[in-house]
Amino acid sequence: MIDPDTVPVSTIEWQDAVRIIRSIHPPIDLFEDIADPADWPLLISAEQKTNPRLMENIGNLDLVPQERRVGGPGATYLMAPFTHVSPDRPTRFSDGSYGVLYAGNSFEVALLETIHHHSRFMARTNEAPGWTSQFREVVMDINARLHDLRADEGRFSKAADPNDYSASQTLGGQLRAAGSNGVAYSSVRRKSGECAGLFYPDLASNAIQGRHLDYHWDGERVDLYRDTRTGEVFRIV
């Protein structure tokens, strides 16, 4: 077990950090509204009378402390990772009981991180070769004091295991319980790349939609991606 007090903390200031998500997730009107997040409970109460499925769209808002909620254009991209969580969808630094917003310090990092997870899904479900799901690039700024696992990668090597997330989930839970904002760590999928895992949405800002992407599955791996705006196709090497 790692004592959270012994993990160094660094200020992470990344402009144009990149996150890639599935395009099937639409913007959430409540989060995109300019209303003060403190007023959201009243707005939800009023709208639920005519929209019984509202909470399915919003998710579990109670998982985000009121003082750490964000609203306005692009806020869906910052809030949704924290309100739509499940033990059936654990991540590197979460057992699925709380959300983490992951982003890379470059497009290449985000691309290879998502390709890895999409490839595992495609292989597990024995999908036929072809162009598959559409993805959406989200660009944002990060300014946060994060626990920094990059400083001593030997000590935190178990948290960087390519496939076994048990150690990293334990560490993530310990850090979050101790009041951490999140973690900065070296990308497991992109050599020299860096990632941030944020425990709260207010640590990022200025989230905007970038490119739409298609991934191509060759039956064994994702070998190509396509920029749907330009039609350009790029090979994954």
- Structure confidence by residue, pLDDT tens digits, 78-122: 999 999 999 999 999 999 999 999 999 999 999 999 999 999 999
Residue 154: the pLDDT is 87
Per-residue pLDDT tens digits for 129-177:
999 889 999 999 999 999 999 988 789 999 999 999 999 999 999 999 9
Band (pLDDT 50/70/90 cuts) for residue 52 is: low
Per-residue pLDDT tens digits for 25-51:
777 888 888 678 888 888 887 777 777
Residue 84: the pLDDT is 95
Residue scoring higher pLDDT (20 or 54):
20
**CA proximity to 17, closest of 68, 91, 77:** 77
Tokens of 106: 């470059």
Q: Can you tell me the distance from the alpha carbon of 95 to that of 166, in angstroms, rounded to the nearest whole number?
A: 9
Per-residue pLDDT tens digits for 188-232:
999 999 999 999 999 999 999 999 999 999 999 999 999 999 999
Residue 237: the pLDDT is 87
